Amino acid sequence: MTVRTTSPSLPSPAAPSVATTAGTVAHARDVLGVSRLTNHALTGWLHGLPGVDQVGCEARAASLGTRSVKTTSKAWAIDLAIGMIDLTTLEGADTVGKVRSLCAKALVPDPLDPSTPRPAAVCVYGDMVATAKEALGDSGVRVAAVATAFPSGRASLAVKLADTRDAVRAGADEIDMVIDRGAFLSGEYLTVFNQIADVKAACGDTHLKVILETGELVTYDNVRRAAHLAMLAGGDFIKTSTGKVAPAATLPVTLVMLEAVRDWRELTGVQVGVKPAGGIRTTKDAIKYLVMVSEVAGEPWLSPDWFRFGASGLLNDLLLQRQKLVTGAYSGPDYVTID
């Protein structure tokens, strides 16, 4: 990982162009070099992608996970990781009070140190978007909403689009959708493509993160295919998991996805972000992911605009480790709020 002595100056995210399904289909035809986008054409293209060497992938992920980051670089990495968090609450028992408390934590992560960075976003269910928007105000912390019958994705397209539009109308800055894993695993790639493209069109100016639910895709080859399909259909980010299925984010799966976005930019010139979500709870784990981002995708992805962590408990450990670097001693767990 590149050593820095100060936090980088992060660019403001460029507003995405408003996509239309027809425009996305036309672009996909150009990428595939076909006159008509069919399931047969998508199948040939996706299955023509290079296969993933499972042993090699897992060995490289394990090797990258052993890299040591110390002192100044560690302080920079902790601040960067905090700024990459989508601070998340996605429980059936969520209340207005809980969401407001989470937003308060996003605004002031460490009351004892006002220099502490804020997380990138707060991620909630669609019915809590208005509450989060009001609580966050003009702070710059974005509101992400899960949609499209999260986490199962088992609903009609009309319901998925209504879910998306409702969250957008409420003020969501980002939409996290789930793909239809049943359709994908059945080889109905055109169905999955059309659903992503239609949701992207329903988002308007709102960024779209496409959740692959990699724990249900079984193989790394499927992860690579799903990642390319999501990017072909217009996703601004590809995301590992809902956090509701085990396994959620893993280093090897994230490695495959980082290779996919790197290759996609080389192929099309379009940069797409990556978001591992679920099971990332410690500073040590977060730094492993940042090393992987640097080594696999490259420095352009070392920004909240292009890499996020879907987490809640991770922030607490990052804050405790940050306090340790500043004071030389660990604070007790009661020095951070319980999420």
From residue 313, alpha-carbon distances to 110, 164, 176, 325, 328 in Å are 14, 27, 20, 19, 22
Q: What's at 173, amino acid-wise?
A: D
Whether the CB-CB separation of 261 and 269 falls below 8 Å is answered with no
| Sequence-distant (≥ 6) Cβ neighbours of residue 91 within 8 angstroms | none
pLDDT of residue 334: 62
pLDDT of residue 327: 80
Q: For residue 75, give the nearest of 290, 334, 335, 239 by alpha carbon.
A: 290
Angle subtended by helix axes 283-292 and 54-64, to nearest 10: 120
Q: Give the pLDDT of the chain (339 residues) as one tens digit per residue.
A: 443 333 333 333 444 456 789 999 999 999 999 999 999 999 999 999 999 999 999 999 999 999 878 778 999 999 999 999 999 999 999 999 999 999 999 999 999 899 999 999 999 999 999 999 999 999 999 999 999 999 999 999 999 999 999 999 999 999 999 999 999 999 999 999 999 999 999 999 999 999 999 999 999 999 999 999 999 999 999 999 999 999 999 999 999 999 999 999 999 999 999 999 999 999 999 999 999 999 999 999 999 999 999 998 899 999 999 999 988 777 766 666 665
pLDDT of residue 16: 43
Instruction: Count the neighbouring beta carbons within 10 Å of the beta carbon of residue 290.
Output: 23
Q: What's at 255, amino acid-wise?
A: L
- Dihedral sign of CA atoms 139, 271, 213, 52 in order: negative
**Taking the mean position of all CA atoms in its chain, how far away is CA 167?**
18
pLDDT of residue 9: 37
Query: How far is it, in rounded angstroms, from Cα 263 to Cα 265?
Result: 5
Backbone angles phi, psi at 22, to 5 degrees: -60, -40
From residue 228, alpha-carbon distances to 205, 215, 219, 305 in Å are 22, 17, 15, 19
pLDDT of residue 19: 74
Domain segments of the chain as ranges: 21-335
**CATH code of the domain made up of 21-335:** 3.20.20.70
Backbone angles phi, psi at 6, to 5 degrees: -135, 160
Query: How far is it, in rounded angstroms, from Cα 112 to Cα 333?
Result: 14
Q: In what order do the strands lie in the sheet containing 142-146?
A: 273-275, 237-239, 207-211, 174-178, 142-146, 121-125, 85-88, 309-311
Cis amide prior to 109 (ω within 30 degrees): no
Known catalytic residues are 176, 239, 275
Query: How far is it, in rounded angstroms, from Cα 26 to Cα 19?
Result: 11
